[in-house]
Chain A
């Protein structure tokens, strides 16, 4: 497939936004049960604002993928059948929930303001946050299933796609939370950092699993099934036209083989070992620049990862477009 940068930015930005919000909420849950020191409330407010900005950035990027962005509102219509439609509904819902979460923290609203008094600090934020957590995981599911549900794109049609989207988003978000905590709430740095290490190692395993799976794929569609002729040797002599078309542009990545192969190593280095080393040193030194650069470098690696994810998918329609003439 031809990697579209609008979709690459959409999936990486909202992944980081979802992950950051989930990190914030995790910290709040831990501090509520007194496993972590309680950070100042502006930590959650500004953190939610950053998460919201990332989600909005992703939404804006997605509009560049559309031929008719002014009709984008229509895309909520087919949520019964289309994962894309479901994503279109869940993303704004999550943005709303994250915004409310930030506002609740900012105004220090409590459940007793709504008439249910509890003894838990930040109880309303916990309730609103729980809804947002559900939406964030639902959004990971929707984003992953958009790709995983196309069964003949065999590189994508696997549960690993959903797992990878979820874990990459979490890793990116928790790493950002680590850098942000080093700046705003140093007591939480090791908490976020440890989770970042765990999630990054987990997604290292699952992404490697999907790379291995894709290397061993046997394509179900062949030139024989594509034209329905049973013969061991069939060669296309003409695709029917000598110029380009949508079919020759949108389904081939068009990169040189060496570039295509090197992108895989670029992301394997930039997403996993480099950020982990920077994260470790940044945590030891409490260095905000080092932790921030860990996030930025991993984000660049995730862009490469997403590019490779799209480029590696081999669409069966390509069988019909092998030879110009």
Chain B
């Protein structure tokens, strides 16, 4: 890509980020900064943190492993539990091994939390943000179940693993690997058969995920997770939750993640105990979401690769 075009993209990037800040300033959501390096890290088996090594004493052999954040979620929740109110942050996040045309191992995200919102309120606000900043049409909303029904004609909550496998075969997915669980099959179908078709005209919110894919969302009495994702032009842009605030339940999910990691030879990482302490203290009822800014800018500029909107991508960093 020519430097001239790159410079033009970077100017648009600056404008979009400035517009996002103005959007939140007008709504009294305050900007915060939290540490990029942390002692604890994410347990989600599908997200790996990039470790770094800290030395108390430069001449000593003793090192402490710390982790570059994969998102600012835990630290922001700690601020929320201290009563700060609604907050946002624009920051770098880092993920091990994630490199591709829509992935750079170091990327920029905006994450925000709204006290007193549930996931539907937050989808509404996010839609307003997109319309204001990149001039999208009003977004559509589909539940996870409606989405599978619409694109594949199956019920993702009730279909057996065998039916999911048959569905993948019917849709000519040639899979070389063994998948160990039902959620992996859902993920396969979603990324191969559905995602590319989502949101060609207007952004689409997908909400109410299976409880087994709740991550840090509340699970309701109807066994659905109050989680949503945003897709636009076939690309995932955001993931949000009506946030889980139950410390005991949170510890249970962390433990389950670590057990899965142990069984699958993934790093068994230190849990963020400070987050759990904050949840015990009390997280206000809130919803939060993380949006990939690089992808948002990429789509606003009709670019096909994330590298087109980065000053220097990972290969050139």
A and B pair up: no
